[in-house]
């Protein structure tokens, strides 16, 4: 008499292993999508600087153009793929509230960040905004009942923040004055807006055009302020081209990748991975603006990459206990 196969053994679910493998594969894909989004975002600093240098657009104008162009592109893509969608996803009050929070968070994040750059400089604004965001997301995730971050996530967070301080803060220097203090506070507000976008967007079900709604809502929220200040229209062809790129790649495409990825990647993990953005921005500044990296900054970049690689190998290489993002 033959022995029963493992699949037929009592108490053994034959579908458990395939489901586990599917969840792990989905989480890996989500991780890679968040990485691609961070790399795209890393080009926004250089793009914004080019637009500002070749036009008279303010930080408010650049933020509004970025959201508005992204919304138009996303709307066109949504309309072109309408025939492929078999049915709509019902949007109840909880999902609608999340969408409103995503739009408000995007508007606050963009406006506060570009304002912080104008007052405190790129280094300080990037350090505060992207360095504080993972902490806010981890705390927010715990307060929302998703449990404490794992030890691996906390260790990666410490390493990533240390690398970020070396990478961005090494050239910030010590400066004083009201402008720097105000810029730092604005960057903290930008981090809060980013945390709201991450936590709220991760809970929107698939099928809901969260990126489109977020960009359109953010642009609408900024429109009164833009009209009150008097919107500037760029005339330089180069500035217009880069502004279109800013609305297409680091905005519509990157946020689409990000919102898709955070459905299967926890918010605290995604926020650490997006610290690749300042690394990308620094590399582009070195290549195209002739900036040189100090040895401490190189070490910071290595720590940042080590933190992201550690997350991928240790956190995503294991089957998750709870599927889905925050």
* pTM score, whole prediction: 0.75
pLDDT of residue 318: 53
Q: What is the mean pLDDT of each run of 10 residues along the chain (326 residues)?
A: 40 51 83 92 84 89 94 92 69 86 92 82 72 77 73 79 72 56 84 89 80 92 93 92 94 87 80 80 76 73 77 56 31
Look-up of token digits 């975002």? 41
CA distance 195 to 126: 15
pLDDT of residue 172: 52
CA distance 70 to 248: 6
pLDDT of residue 114: 82
pLDDT of residue 174: 45
pLDDT of residue 147: 67
pLDDT of residue 217: 94
CA distance 60 to 117: 12
Non-local CB neighbours of 208 within 8 Å, separated by 6+ positions: 89, 91, 95, 99
pLDDT of residue 87: 59
């Amino acid at each position: 008499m033959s022995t029963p196969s493992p699949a037929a053994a009592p108490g053994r679910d034959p579908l458990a292993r395939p489901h586990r493998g599917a969840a792990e594969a989905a989480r890996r894909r989500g991780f890679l999508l968040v990485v691609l989004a961070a790399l795209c975002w890393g080009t926004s600093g250089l793009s914004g600087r080019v637009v500002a240098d070749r036009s008279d657009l303010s930080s408010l104008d650049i933020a509004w153009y970025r959201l508005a162009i992204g919304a138009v592109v996303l709307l066109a893509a949504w309309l072109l793929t309408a025939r492929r969608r078999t049915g709509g996803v019902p949007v109840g009050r909880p999902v609608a509230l999340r969408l409103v929070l995503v739009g408000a968070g995007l508007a606050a994040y963009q406006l506060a960040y570009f304002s912080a750059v104008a007052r405190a400089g790129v280094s300080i604004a990037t350090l505060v905004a992207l360095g504080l965001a993972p902490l806010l997301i981890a705390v927010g995730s715990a307060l929302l009942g998703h449990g404490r971050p794992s030890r691996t996530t906390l260790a990666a967070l410490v390493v990533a923040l240390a690398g970020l301080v070396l990478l961005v803060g090494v050239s910030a220097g010590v400066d004083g004055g009201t402008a720097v203090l105000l810029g730092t506070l604005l960057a903290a507000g930008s981090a809060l807006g980013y945390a709201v976008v991450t936590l709220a967007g991760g809970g929107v079900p698939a099928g809901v055009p969260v990126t489109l709604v977020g960009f359109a809502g953010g642009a609408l929220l900024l429109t009164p302020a833009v009209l009150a200040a008097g919107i500037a229209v760029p005339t330089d062809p180069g500035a217009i081209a880069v502004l279109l790129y800013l609305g297409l790649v680091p905005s519509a495409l990157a946020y689409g990748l990000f919102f898709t990825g955070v459905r299967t990647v926890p918010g605290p993990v995604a926020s650490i991975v997006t610290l690749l953005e300042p690394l990308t921005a620094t590399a582009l500044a070195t290549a195209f603006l002739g900036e040189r990296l100090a040895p401490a900054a190189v070490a910071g970049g290595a720590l940042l990459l080590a933190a992201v690689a550690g997350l991928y190998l240790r956190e995503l290489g294991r089957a998750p206990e709870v599927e889905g993002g925050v």
